[in-house]
Structure 1
Amino acid sequence: MRCIKLYAAEAAASVRMSFADKANFALQVGGMIVNDVVFLALWALFFAGFRSVGGWGMADVALLLGLTMCIVGLAGALAGGYRDMAGSIVRGELDGLLIQPAGLIARLLARESIATAWGDLVCGVVVLVLFAQVRWAQAPLLVLAVGAGATVYVSAAISFASLAFWAGGARSFARDLTDFTLLFSSYPGSIHQGLVKAAAYTVLPAAFVVLAPVKMLREPSVGTVAVVVASALSYGALAAGLFHLGLRRYRRGASPGT
Protein backbone atom coordinates (compact mmCIF):
# COMPACT_ATOMS: atom_id res chain seq x y z
CA MET A 1 0.00 0.00 0.00
CA ARG A 2 2.84 2.39 0.82
CA CYS A 3 4.43 1.77 -2.61
CA ILE A 4 1.11 2.47 -4.33
CA LYS A 5 0.70 5.77 -2.48
CA LEU A 6 4.29 6.72 -3.28
CA TYR A 7 3.83 5.86 -6.94
CA ALA A 8 0.54 7.77 -7.16
CA ALA A 9 2.10 10.89 -5.60
CA GLU A 10 5.16 10.85 -7.89
CA ALA A 11 3.09 10.06 -11.00
CA ALA A 12 0.75 12.96 -10.20
CA ALA A 13 3.75 15.28 -9.83
CA SER A 14 5.13 14.12 -13.20
CA VAL A 15 1.76 14.73 -14.87
CA ARG A 16 1.64 18.26 -13.45
CA MET A 17 5.15 18.91 -14.76
CA SER A 18 4.18 17.73 -18.25
CA PHE A 19 1.29 20.23 -18.17
CA ALA A 20 3.55 23.09 -17.03
CA ASP A 21 4.49 24.34 -20.50
CA LYS A 22 1.01 24.44 -21.98
CA ALA A 23 2.07 25.50 -25.48
CA ASN A 24 4.65 22.73 -25.80
CA PHE A 25 2.20 20.23 -24.30
CA ALA A 26 -0.50 21.19 -26.81
CA LEU A 27 1.93 20.92 -29.73
CA GLN A 28 3.09 17.46 -28.71
CA VAL A 29 -0.42 16.18 -28.09
CA GLY A 30 -1.63 17.68 -31.37
CA GLY A 31 1.28 16.16 -33.28
CA MET A 32 0.56 12.70 -31.91
CA ILE A 33 -3.15 13.03 -32.73
CA VAL A 34 -2.26 13.93 -36.33
CA ASN A 35 0.13 10.95 -36.49
CA ASP A 36 -2.56 8.56 -35.20
CA VAL A 37 -5.22 9.95 -37.54
CA VAL A 38 -2.92 9.49 -40.55
CA PHE A 39 -2.16 5.90 -39.51
CA LEU A 40 -5.87 5.15 -39.11
CA ALA A 41 -6.61 6.82 -42.47
CA LEU A 42 -4.10 4.54 -44.21
CA TRP A 43 -5.95 1.51 -42.88
CA ALA A 44 -9.29 3.03 -43.95
CA LEU A 45 -7.91 3.47 -47.48
CA PHE A 46 -6.71 -0.13 -47.44
CA PHE A 47 -10.14 -1.44 -46.50
CA ALA A 48 -11.74 0.77 -49.14
CA GLY A 49 -10.13 -1.57 -51.66
CA PHE A 50 -10.04 -4.84 -49.71
CA ARG A 51 -12.75 -6.26 -47.46
CA SER A 52 -10.42 -7.97 -45.04
CA VAL A 53 -6.85 -9.00 -44.29
CA GLY A 54 -6.45 -12.50 -42.92
CA GLY A 55 -10.04 -12.45 -41.67
CA TRP A 56 -9.68 -9.04 -40.00
CA GLY A 57 -12.16 -6.33 -41.03
CA MET A 58 -11.96 -2.59 -40.48
CA ALA A 59 -13.77 -2.81 -37.13
CA ASP A 60 -11.29 -5.44 -35.92
CA VAL A 61 -8.29 -3.33 -36.94
CA ALA A 62 -9.92 -0.27 -35.34
CA LEU A 63 -10.24 -2.25 -32.10
CA LEU A 64 -6.59 -3.29 -32.38
CA LEU A 65 -5.40 0.26 -33.02
CA GLY A 66 -7.68 1.80 -30.40
CA LEU A 67 -6.44 -0.59 -27.74
CA THR A 68 -2.82 -0.05 -28.77
CA MET A 69 -3.21 3.73 -28.56
CA CYS A 70 -4.88 3.52 -25.14
CA ILE A 71 -2.29 1.07 -23.83
CA VAL A 72 0.69 3.11 -25.00
CA GLY A 73 -1.03 6.32 -23.92
CA LEU A 74 -1.75 5.01 -20.43
CA ALA A 75 1.80 3.68 -20.05
CA GLY A 76 3.39 6.90 -21.26
CA ALA A 77 1.15 9.24 -19.28
CA LEU A 78 1.39 7.46 -15.93
CA ALA A 79 4.60 5.40 -16.20
CA GLY A 80 6.68 7.27 -18.76
CA GLY A 81 9.92 6.40 -17.00
CA TYR A 82 9.88 3.04 -18.77
CA ARG A 83 11.17 4.73 -21.93
CA ASP A 84 14.65 5.41 -20.54
CA MET A 85 14.90 3.08 -17.59
CA ALA A 86 17.98 1.46 -19.11
CA GLY A 87 19.57 4.90 -19.37
CA SER A 88 18.88 5.54 -15.68
CA ILE A 89 20.65 2.29 -14.82
CA VAL A 90 23.67 2.99 -17.03
CA ARG A 91 24.04 6.55 -15.70
CA GLY A 92 24.07 5.30 -12.11
CA GLU A 93 20.92 7.19 -11.14
CA LEU A 94 19.83 4.29 -8.96
CA ASP A 95 22.41 5.24 -6.33
CA GLY A 96 20.35 8.12 -5.01
CA LEU A 97 17.09 6.17 -5.22
CA LEU A 98 18.37 3.18 -3.26
CA ILE A 99 18.60 5.19 -0.03
CA GLN A 100 14.94 6.23 -0.34
CA PRO A 101 11.89 4.20 0.77
CA ALA A 102 11.09 0.93 -1.01
CA GLY A 103 9.46 0.89 -4.44
CA LEU A 104 12.39 1.47 -6.78
CA ILE A 105 10.63 0.26 -9.93
CA ALA A 106 7.57 2.38 -9.13
CA ARG A 107 9.70 5.51 -8.65
CA LEU A 108 11.59 4.90 -11.90
CA LEU A 109 8.32 4.51 -13.81
CA ALA A 110 6.62 7.51 -12.20
CA ARG A 111 9.47 9.96 -12.71
CA GLU A 112 8.22 11.03 -16.17
CA SER A 113 4.90 11.64 -17.90
CA ILE A 114 5.23 11.72 -21.70
CA ALA A 115 3.15 14.53 -23.22
CA THR A 116 2.52 12.76 -26.53
CA ALA A 117 0.94 9.87 -24.63
CA TRP A 118 -2.12 12.02 -23.93
CA GLY A 119 -2.62 12.35 -27.67
CA ASP A 120 -2.57 8.56 -27.97
CA LEU A 121 -5.14 8.28 -25.18
CA VAL A 122 -7.50 10.78 -26.81
CA CYS A 123 -7.27 9.09 -30.21
CA GLY A 124 -7.56 5.62 -28.70
CA VAL A 125 -10.81 6.45 -26.91
CA VAL A 126 -12.26 8.09 -30.04
CA VAL A 127 -11.34 5.11 -32.23
CA LEU A 128 -12.81 2.60 -29.77
CA VAL A 129 -16.07 4.56 -29.42
CA LEU A 130 -16.62 5.44 -33.08
CA PHE A 131 -15.04 2.68 -35.17
CA ALA A 132 -14.39 -0.48 -33.14
CA GLN A 133 -18.01 -1.54 -32.55
CA VAL A 134 -17.44 -1.92 -28.81
CA ARG A 135 -20.68 -2.08 -26.82
CA TRP A 136 -21.24 -0.38 -23.47
CA ALA A 137 -21.81 -3.80 -21.92
CA GLN A 138 -18.18 -4.59 -22.74
CA ALA A 139 -16.82 -1.65 -20.72
CA PRO A 140 -15.50 -3.84 -17.86
CA LEU A 141 -13.70 -6.11 -20.32
CA LEU A 142 -12.36 -3.05 -22.14
CA VAL A 143 -10.90 -1.66 -18.91
CA LEU A 144 -9.35 -5.06 -18.21
CA ALA A 145 -7.94 -5.22 -21.74
CA VAL A 146 -6.26 -1.81 -21.49
CA GLY A 147 -4.97 -2.41 -17.95
CA ALA A 148 -3.59 -5.87 -18.72
CA GLY A 149 -2.12 -4.77 -22.04
CA ALA A 150 -0.37 -1.79 -20.42
CA THR A 151 0.98 -4.11 -17.71
CA VAL A 152 2.47 -6.50 -20.27
CA TYR A 153 3.87 -3.62 -22.36
CA VAL A 154 5.53 -1.84 -19.43
CA SER A 155 6.73 -5.17 -18.00
CA ALA A 156 8.38 -6.02 -21.31
CA ALA A 157 10.08 -2.60 -21.32
CA ILE A 158 11.34 -3.18 -17.75
CA SER A 159 12.67 -6.62 -18.72
CA PHE A 160 14.53 -5.16 -21.70
CA ALA A 161 15.88 -2.27 -19.60
CA SER A 162 17.19 -4.77 -17.03
CA LEU A 163 19.76 -5.86 -19.63
CA ALA A 164 21.58 -2.63 -18.74
CA PHE A 165 22.67 -4.22 -15.45
CA TRP A 166 24.87 -6.54 -17.53
CA ALA A 167 25.66 -4.53 -20.70
CA GLY A 168 26.43 -0.82 -20.84
CA GLY A 169 25.30 -0.64 -24.46
CA ALA A 170 21.85 -2.00 -23.67
CA ARG A 171 20.21 1.43 -23.49
CA SER A 172 19.49 1.76 -27.22
CA PHE A 173 18.92 -1.98 -27.58
CA ALA A 174 16.26 -1.92 -24.85
CA ARG A 175 14.46 0.95 -26.58
CA ASP A 176 14.62 -0.85 -29.91
CA LEU A 177 13.08 -4.00 -28.41
CA THR A 178 10.31 -1.93 -26.81
CA ASP A 179 9.64 -0.16 -30.12
CA PHE A 180 9.58 -3.48 -31.98
CA THR A 181 7.03 -4.77 -29.47
CA LEU A 182 4.85 -1.75 -30.20
CA LEU A 183 5.32 -2.19 -33.96
CA PHE A 184 4.29 -5.85 -33.80
CA SER A 185 1.26 -4.83 -31.74
CA SER A 186 0.02 -2.43 -34.41
CA TYR A 187 -0.80 -5.05 -37.06
CA PRO A 188 -3.36 -7.88 -37.27
CA GLY A 189 -2.10 -11.10 -35.74
CA SER A 190 -3.01 -13.04 -38.89
CA ILE A 191 -0.08 -11.52 -40.79
CA HIS A 192 2.46 -12.98 -38.34
CA GLN A 193 3.79 -16.35 -39.44
CA GLY A 194 6.61 -18.72 -38.54
CA LEU A 195 9.46 -17.25 -36.51
CA VAL A 196 7.82 -13.81 -36.49
CA LYS A 197 4.74 -15.27 -34.83
CA ALA A 198 6.89 -17.15 -32.32
CA ALA A 199 8.69 -13.91 -31.43
CA ALA A 200 5.36 -12.10 -31.01
CA TYR A 201 4.33 -14.63 -28.37
CA THR A 202 7.63 -14.84 -26.50
CA VAL A 203 10.58 -12.44 -26.75
CA LEU A 204 8.44 -9.54 -28.01
CA PRO A 205 5.11 -10.16 -26.27
CA ALA A 206 3.04 -8.21 -28.79
CA ALA A 207 0.44 -10.98 -28.81
CA PHE A 208 -0.23 -10.46 -25.12
CA VAL A 209 -0.05 -6.65 -25.28
CA VAL A 210 -3.01 -6.35 -27.63
CA LEU A 211 -3.86 -9.46 -29.67
CA ALA A 212 -5.03 -11.49 -26.67
CA PRO A 213 -7.14 -8.54 -25.37
CA VAL A 214 -8.69 -8.16 -28.84
CA LYS A 215 -9.66 -11.83 -28.85
CA MET A 216 -11.10 -11.48 -25.34
CA LEU A 217 -13.33 -8.60 -26.48
CA ARG A 218 -14.42 -10.35 -29.67
CA GLU A 219 -14.82 -13.81 -28.08
CA PRO A 220 -15.42 -13.24 -24.37
CA SER A 221 -15.10 -16.41 -22.30
CA VAL A 222 -13.48 -17.67 -19.12
CA GLY A 223 -10.57 -18.94 -21.24
CA THR A 224 -9.83 -15.67 -23.06
CA VAL A 225 -10.13 -13.65 -19.84
CA ALA A 226 -7.81 -16.09 -18.08
CA VAL A 227 -5.19 -15.73 -20.83
CA VAL A 228 -5.24 -11.93 -20.55
CA VAL A 229 -5.02 -11.92 -16.75
CA ALA A 230 -2.38 -14.68 -16.62
CA SER A 231 -0.19 -12.94 -19.21
CA ALA A 232 -0.27 -9.66 -17.24
CA LEU A 233 0.62 -11.41 -13.99
CA SER A 234 3.33 -13.56 -15.62
CA TYR A 235 5.09 -10.76 -17.47
CA GLY A 236 4.81 -8.51 -14.42
CA ALA A 237 6.46 -11.16 -12.25
CA LEU A 238 9.13 -11.80 -14.89
CA ALA A 239 9.96 -8.10 -15.13
CA ALA A 240 10.22 -7.73 -11.36
CA GLY A 241 12.38 -10.84 -11.11
CA LEU A 242 14.81 -9.76 -13.85
CA PHE A 243 15.08 -6.22 -12.48
CA HIS A 244 15.81 -7.33 -8.92
CA LEU A 245 18.25 -9.96 -10.14
CA GLY A 246 20.19 -7.22 -11.89
CA LEU A 247 19.76 -4.90 -8.92
CA ARG A 248 21.52 -7.39 -6.64
CA ARG A 249 24.44 -7.32 -9.05
CA TYR A 250 24.31 -3.51 -9.10
CA ARG A 251 24.39 -3.34 -5.28
CA ARG A 252 27.58 -5.43 -5.27
CA GLY A 253 29.23 -2.74 -7.36
CA ALA A 254 29.51 -4.74 -10.57
CA SER A 255 29.74 -2.59 -13.70
CA PRO A 256 27.75 -3.42 -16.86
CA GLY A 257 29.73 -5.72 -19.09
CA THR A 258 31.89 -7.13 -16.26
Structure 2
Amino acid sequence: MGDEGAMSRRWYGRVWSNARFVVAHLALNLQAAMEYRASFISQIVGMMLNDAIWIFFWFVFFARFKVVKGWEFSDVIMLWAVLTVAYGIATGIFGNALRLSKIIAEGGLDFFLGLPRDVLLSVLVARLNISALGDLLFGLILFVFAGTLTLGGVALFFLVCILAGSVIVSWFVLVNSLAFFMGSSENLSMQMLNALLSFATYPFPIFSGPVRFLLFTLIPAAFIGYVPVMILKGANWWFILGLTAFAVGLGLFARFVFLWGLRRYESGNLVIVRV
Protein backbone atom coordinates (compact mmCIF):
# COMPACT_ATOMS: atom_id res chain seq x y z
CA MET A 1 0.00 0.00 0.00
CA GLY A 2 2.84 2.36 0.84
CA ASP A 3 4.54 1.80 -2.52
CA GLU A 4 1.25 2.29 -4.37
CA GLY A 5 0.60 5.51 -2.48
CA ALA A 6 4.08 6.81 -3.26
CA MET A 7 3.66 5.96 -6.95
CA SER A 8 0.28 7.68 -7.00
CA ARG A 9 1.72 10.82 -5.41
CA ARG A 10 4.60 10.88 -7.89
CA TRP A 11 2.18 10.48 -10.80
CA TYR A 12 -0.09 13.29 -9.62
CA GLY A 13 2.96 15.43 -8.91
CA ARG A 14 4.24 14.88 -12.44
CA VAL A 15 0.83 15.72 -13.94
CA TRP A 16 0.57 18.89 -11.86
CA SER A 17 4.12 19.91 -12.78
CA ASN A 18 3.46 19.40 -16.49
CA ALA A 19 0.18 21.34 -16.25
CA ARG A 20 1.97 24.30 -14.66
CA PHE A 21 4.66 24.05 -17.35
CA VAL A 22 2.04 24.23 -20.12
CA VAL A 23 0.22 27.17 -18.50
CA ALA A 24 3.49 29.05 -18.00
CA HIS A 25 4.44 28.57 -21.65
CA LEU A 26 0.97 29.63 -22.77
CA ALA A 27 1.23 32.83 -20.74
CA LEU A 28 4.69 33.62 -22.12
CA ASN A 29 3.63 32.88 -25.70
CA LEU A 30 0.54 35.08 -25.35
CA GLN A 31 2.62 37.89 -23.89
CA ALA A 32 5.09 37.67 -26.77
CA ALA A 33 2.35 37.50 -29.41
CA MET A 34 0.52 40.54 -28.02
CA GLU A 35 3.61 42.70 -28.42
CA TYR A 36 2.50 42.94 -32.06
CA ARG A 37 -1.09 43.71 -31.21
CA ALA A 38 -2.30 44.60 -34.71
CA SER A 39 -0.98 41.33 -36.14
CA PHE A 40 -2.35 39.39 -33.16
CA ILE A 41 -5.86 40.79 -33.58
CA SER A 42 -5.87 40.55 -37.37
CA GLN A 43 -4.96 36.85 -37.31
CA ILE A 44 -7.72 36.07 -34.82
CA VAL A 45 -10.35 38.12 -36.66
CA GLY A 46 -9.23 36.70 -40.02
CA MET A 47 -9.72 33.12 -38.82
CA MET A 48 -13.12 33.95 -37.34
CA LEU A 49 -14.21 35.42 -40.68
CA ASN A 50 -12.96 32.30 -42.46
CA ASP A 51 -15.03 30.11 -40.14
CA ALA A 52 -18.05 32.39 -40.58
CA ILE A 53 -17.89 31.92 -44.36
CA TRP A 54 -18.21 28.16 -43.88
CA ILE A 55 -21.18 28.60 -41.57
CA PHE A 56 -22.81 30.85 -44.17
CA PHE A 57 -22.25 28.12 -46.77
CA TRP A 58 -24.03 25.58 -44.58
CA PHE A 59 -26.81 28.07 -43.85
CA VAL A 60 -27.47 28.47 -47.59
CA PHE A 61 -27.25 24.70 -48.09
CA PHE A 62 -29.76 23.87 -45.35
CA ALA A 63 -32.07 26.66 -46.46
CA ARG A 64 -32.58 24.52 -49.56
CA PHE A 65 -32.22 21.03 -48.07
CA LYS A 66 -33.72 21.05 -44.58
CA VAL A 67 -32.50 17.62 -43.50
CA VAL A 68 -29.56 15.57 -44.77
CA LYS A 69 -29.53 11.95 -43.59
CA GLY A 70 -31.13 13.02 -40.30
CA TRP A 71 -28.86 16.03 -39.75
CA GLU A 72 -30.19 19.57 -39.59
CA PHE A 73 -28.47 22.96 -39.63
CA SER A 74 -28.38 23.00 -35.81
CA ASP A 75 -26.38 19.76 -35.84
CA VAL A 76 -23.81 21.25 -38.22
CA ILE A 77 -23.56 24.34 -35.99
CA MET A 78 -22.78 22.09 -33.03
CA LEU A 79 -20.31 20.12 -35.15
CA TRP A 80 -18.44 23.31 -36.02
CA ALA A 81 -18.60 24.52 -32.42
CA VAL A 82 -16.86 21.34 -31.25
CA LEU A 83 -14.35 21.27 -34.10
CA THR A 84 -13.26 24.89 -33.82
CA VAL A 85 -12.92 24.81 -30.04
CA ALA A 86 -11.08 21.46 -30.14
CA TYR A 87 -8.77 22.67 -32.89
CA GLY A 88 -8.23 25.95 -31.07
CA ILE A 89 -7.24 24.13 -27.89
CA ALA A 90 -5.08 21.61 -29.74
CA THR A 91 -3.07 23.91 -31.99
CA GLY A 92 -3.43 27.10 -30.01
CA ILE A 93 -1.73 25.72 -26.92
CA PHE A 94 0.38 23.07 -28.67
CA GLY A 95 1.29 25.23 -31.66
CA ASN A 96 4.28 23.19 -32.80
CA ALA A 97 2.08 20.15 -33.40
CA LEU A 98 1.53 21.53 -36.89
CA ARG A 99 5.25 22.06 -37.53
CA LEU A 100 6.69 18.97 -35.88
CA SER A 101 7.64 17.28 -39.16
CA LYS A 102 9.64 20.33 -40.28
CA ILE A 103 11.30 20.66 -36.87
CA ILE A 104 12.40 17.02 -36.98
CA ALA A 105 13.66 17.18 -40.58
CA GLU A 106 15.67 20.35 -39.93
CA GLY A 107 17.29 19.07 -36.73
CA GLY A 108 15.29 21.44 -34.56
CA LEU A 109 14.89 18.89 -31.78
CA ASP A 110 18.52 19.34 -30.74
CA PHE A 111 17.63 22.31 -28.55
CA PHE A 112 14.81 20.47 -26.77
CA LEU A 113 16.99 17.43 -26.07
CA GLY A 114 19.11 19.63 -23.83
CA LEU A 115 16.17 20.66 -21.64
CA PRO A 116 15.28 18.91 -18.36
CA ARG A 117 11.62 18.58 -19.38
CA ASP A 118 9.86 15.96 -21.48
CA VAL A 119 11.01 16.46 -25.08
CA LEU A 120 7.62 16.01 -26.76
CA LEU A 121 5.77 18.30 -24.37
CA SER A 122 8.52 20.93 -24.57
CA VAL A 123 8.51 21.10 -28.35
CA LEU A 124 4.71 21.14 -28.62
CA VAL A 125 4.18 24.10 -26.26
CA ALA A 126 7.14 26.14 -27.51
CA ARG A 127 4.97 27.95 -30.05
CA LEU A 128 1.52 29.54 -29.99
CA ASN A 129 -0.68 29.28 -33.08
CA ILE A 130 -2.40 32.67 -32.93
CA SER A 131 -4.98 32.07 -35.65
CA ALA A 132 -6.20 28.99 -33.76
CA LEU A 133 -7.36 31.32 -30.99
CA GLY A 134 -9.79 32.72 -33.56
CA ASP A 135 -11.15 29.20 -34.04
CA LEU A 136 -11.49 28.85 -30.28
CA LEU A 137 -13.41 32.11 -29.87
CA PHE A 138 -15.63 31.38 -32.87
CA GLY A 139 -16.53 27.95 -31.52
CA LEU A 140 -17.43 29.39 -28.13
CA ILE A 141 -19.71 31.93 -29.81
CA LEU A 142 -21.43 29.15 -31.77
CA PHE A 143 -21.96 27.16 -28.59
CA VAL A 144 -23.52 30.17 -26.83
CA PHE A 145 -26.10 30.41 -29.62
CA ALA A 146 -26.68 26.70 -30.24
CA GLY A 147 -25.57 24.80 -27.15
CA THR A 148 -27.20 23.81 -23.88
CA LEU A 149 -26.24 26.61 -21.50
CA THR A 150 -26.63 24.71 -18.27
CA LEU A 151 -23.83 23.73 -15.91
CA GLY A 152 -24.01 20.13 -17.10
CA GLY A 153 -24.30 21.14 -20.75
CA VAL A 154 -21.29 23.45 -20.60
CA ALA A 155 -19.22 20.87 -18.70
CA LEU A 156 -20.09 18.16 -21.24
CA PHE A 157 -19.24 20.47 -24.14
CA PHE A 158 -15.80 21.25 -22.76
CA LEU A 159 -15.21 17.58 -21.95
CA VAL A 160 -15.85 16.45 -25.53
CA CYS A 161 -13.84 19.39 -26.90
CA ILE A 162 -10.85 18.49 -24.72
CA LEU A 163 -11.08 14.85 -25.77
CA ALA A 164 -11.44 15.80 -29.45
CA GLY A 165 -8.54 18.23 -29.07
CA SER A 166 -6.45 15.43 -27.59
CA VAL A 167 -7.22 13.28 -30.62
CA ILE A 168 -6.17 16.12 -32.94
CA VAL A 169 -2.85 16.69 -31.14
CA SER A 170 -2.11 12.97 -31.01
CA TRP A 171 -2.92 12.54 -34.70
CA PHE A 172 -0.69 15.49 -35.60
CA VAL A 173 2.16 14.05 -33.53
CA LEU A 174 1.69 10.63 -35.09
CA VAL A 175 1.68 11.70 -38.74
CA ASN A 176 4.44 14.27 -38.25
CA SER A 177 6.63 11.63 -36.59
CA LEU A 178 6.90 10.02 -40.02
CA ALA A 179 9.75 12.48 -40.53
CA PHE A 180 11.89 10.34 -38.23
CA PHE A 181 11.60 7.44 -40.67
CA MET A 182 11.05 9.10 -44.06
CA GLY A 183 13.14 12.25 -43.84
CA SER A 184 11.26 15.19 -45.29
CA SER A 185 7.61 14.13 -45.02
CA GLU A 186 6.08 17.56 -44.57
CA ASN A 187 3.86 17.36 -47.67
CA LEU A 188 2.52 13.92 -46.76
CA SER A 189 1.90 15.03 -43.18
CA MET A 190 -0.03 18.10 -44.31
CA GLN A 191 -2.18 15.99 -46.63
CA MET A 192 -3.00 13.63 -43.77
CA LEU A 193 -3.79 16.53 -41.43
CA ASN A 194 -6.00 18.23 -44.01
CA ALA A 195 -7.81 14.95 -44.66
CA LEU A 196 -8.63 14.59 -40.97
CA LEU A 197 -10.03 18.12 -40.68
CA SER A 198 -11.82 18.11 -44.05
CA PHE A 199 -13.72 14.88 -43.42
CA ALA A 200 -14.64 16.03 -39.90
CA THR A 201 -16.40 19.20 -41.10
CA TYR A 202 -19.12 17.33 -43.01
CA PRO A 203 -22.19 15.56 -41.58
CA PHE A 204 -21.00 12.04 -40.88
CA PRO A 205 -24.15 10.22 -42.13
CA ILE A 206 -23.36 11.22 -45.74
CA PHE A 207 -20.48 8.74 -45.64
CA SER A 208 -21.07 5.01 -45.91
CA GLY A 209 -19.33 1.68 -46.32
CA PRO A 210 -15.52 1.69 -46.51
CA VAL A 211 -15.30 5.46 -46.09
CA ARG A 212 -17.16 5.31 -42.79
CA PHE A 213 -14.83 2.55 -41.59
CA LEU A 214 -11.85 4.67 -42.66
CA LEU A 215 -13.09 7.63 -40.61
CA PHE A 216 -13.16 5.49 -37.47
CA THR A 217 -9.69 4.02 -38.05
CA LEU A 218 -6.94 5.31 -40.34
CA ILE A 219 -8.27 8.87 -40.51
CA PRO A 220 -10.15 9.21 -37.20
CA ALA A 221 -12.30 12.18 -38.22
CA ALA A 222 -15.38 10.61 -36.63
CA PHE A 223 -13.82 10.98 -33.18
CA ILE A 224 -13.39 14.75 -33.47
CA GLY A 225 -16.74 15.51 -35.08
CA TYR A 226 -19.49 12.91 -35.21
CA VAL A 227 -18.93 11.19 -31.86
CA PRO A 228 -18.74 14.46 -29.83
CA VAL A 229 -21.92 15.74 -31.51
CA MET A 230 -23.75 12.50 -30.74
CA ILE A 231 -22.66 12.82 -27.10
CA LEU A 232 -24.01 16.37 -26.94
CA LYS A 233 -27.26 15.20 -28.53
CA GLY A 234 -27.77 12.77 -25.67
CA ALA A 235 -26.14 9.55 -26.86
CA ASN A 236 -25.49 6.93 -24.20
CA TRP A 237 -22.39 6.79 -22.03
CA TRP A 238 -20.76 4.24 -24.31
CA PHE A 239 -20.01 7.09 -26.72
CA ILE A 240 -18.20 9.00 -23.97
CA LEU A 241 -16.27 5.90 -22.89
CA GLY A 242 -15.41 5.12 -26.50
CA LEU A 243 -14.17 8.65 -27.19
CA THR A 244 -12.14 8.67 -23.97
CA ALA A 245 -10.60 5.27 -24.66
CA PHE A 246 -9.71 6.24 -28.22
CA ALA A 247 -8.19 9.58 -27.14
CA VAL A 248 -6.04 7.88 -24.50
CA GLY A 249 -5.06 5.01 -26.79
CA LEU A 250 -4.13 7.26 -29.69
CA GLY A 251 -2.19 9.54 -27.36
CA LEU A 252 -0.14 6.64 -25.99
CA PHE A 253 0.48 5.25 -29.47
CA ALA A 254 1.53 8.65 -30.85
CA ARG A 255 3.93 9.12 -27.94
CA PHE A 256 5.36 5.64 -28.47
CA VAL A 257 6.00 6.34 -32.17
CA PHE A 258 7.56 9.73 -31.38
CA LEU A 259 9.90 8.26 -28.75
CA TRP A 260 10.79 5.41 -31.08
CA GLY A 261 11.71 7.90 -33.76
CA LEU A 262 13.52 10.07 -31.23
CA ARG A 263 15.91 7.21 -30.45
CA ARG A 264 16.79 7.05 -34.15
CA TYR A 265 17.20 10.82 -34.19
CA GLU A 266 19.56 10.83 -31.20
CA SER A 267 21.73 8.07 -32.62
CA GLY A 268 22.01 9.68 -36.04
CA ASN A 269 22.34 13.39 -35.29
CA LEU A 270 24.82 15.62 -33.50
CA VAL A 271 23.10 16.99 -30.43
CA ILE A 272 23.85 20.68 -29.96
CA VAL A 273 22.61 22.45 -26.86
CA ARG A 274 21.84 26.07 -27.64
CA VAL A 275 21.77 28.37 -24.62
- Does residue 188 (structure 1) correspond to residue 209 (structure 2)? The answer is no
Relative to structure 2, which stretch is displaced further, 193-202 or 17-26? 193-202
- Supply the distance in 2 between the matched residues of 1:20 and 1:173 (Cα, whole angstroms): 34
| Equivalent residue for 1:134, pick from 148, 151, 155 | 148
The answer for the alignment partner of 1:217 in structure 2 is 232
Would you say the 8 A contact 2:91–2:169 is kept in 1? no
- Residue 163 of structure 1 and its aligned partner are, at CA, apart by 0.3
The amino acid of 2:217's aligned partner reads T
- Residue 208 of structure 1 and its aligned partner are, at CA, apart by 0.9
1:67-82 pair list within 5 angstroms: 67-82=82-97
The amino acid of 1:134's aligned partner reads T
| Equivalent residue for 1:155, pick from 160, 170, 173 | 170
Would you say the 8 A contact 1:15–1:77 is kept in 2? no
TM-score (norm 1): 0.93
| Equivalent residue for 1:87, pick from 102, 110, 115 | 102
- Supply the distance in 2 between the matched residues of 1:236 and 1:67 (Cα, whole angstroms): 19
Q: Matched residue of 1:187: which SS? A: coil
The answer for the alignment partner of 1:205 in structure 2 is 220
The amino acid of 2:51's aligned partner reads D
- Residue 10 of structure 1 and its aligned partner are, at CA, apart by 2.1
Relative to structure 2, which stretch is displaced further, 154-163 or 11-20? 11-20
- Supply the distance in 1 between the matched residues of 2:171 and 2:136 (Cα, whole angstroms): 20
Cα deviation digits, residues 214-238 of structure 1 (max 9, x gap): 1111124321110121111111111
- Supply the distance in 1 between the matched residues of 2:224 and 2:260 (Cα, whole angstroms): 24
- Residue 18 of structure 1 and its aligned partner are, at CA, apart by 2.0
- Does residue 107 (structure 1) correspond to residue 122 (structure 2)? The answer is yes
Quick one: percent identity of the two aligned structures? 29
Would you say the 8 A contact 1:18–1:114 is kept in 2? no
- Residue 28 of structure 1 and its aligned partner are, at CA, apart by 1.0
The amino acid of 2:148's aligned partner reads V
The answer for the alignment partner of 1:237 in structure 2 is 252
The answer for the alignment partner of 1:143 in structure 2 is 158
Would you say the 8 A contact 1:66–1:127 is kept in 2? yes
- Residue 254 of structure 1 and its aligned partner are, at CA, apart by 6.9
The answer for the alignment partner of 1:55 in structure 2 is 70
Q: Matched residue of 1:63: which SS? A: helix
The answer for the alignment partner of 1:125 in structure 2 is 140
The answer for the alignment partner of 2:184 in structure 1 is 169
The gaps in structure 2 that reach 5 residues or longer are 1-13, 271-275
The answer for the alignment partner of 1:39 in structure 2 is 54
Q: Matched residue of 1:166: which SS? A: helix
The number of residue pairs the alignment matches comes to 254
| Equivalent residue for 1:179, pick from 189, 194, 209 | 194
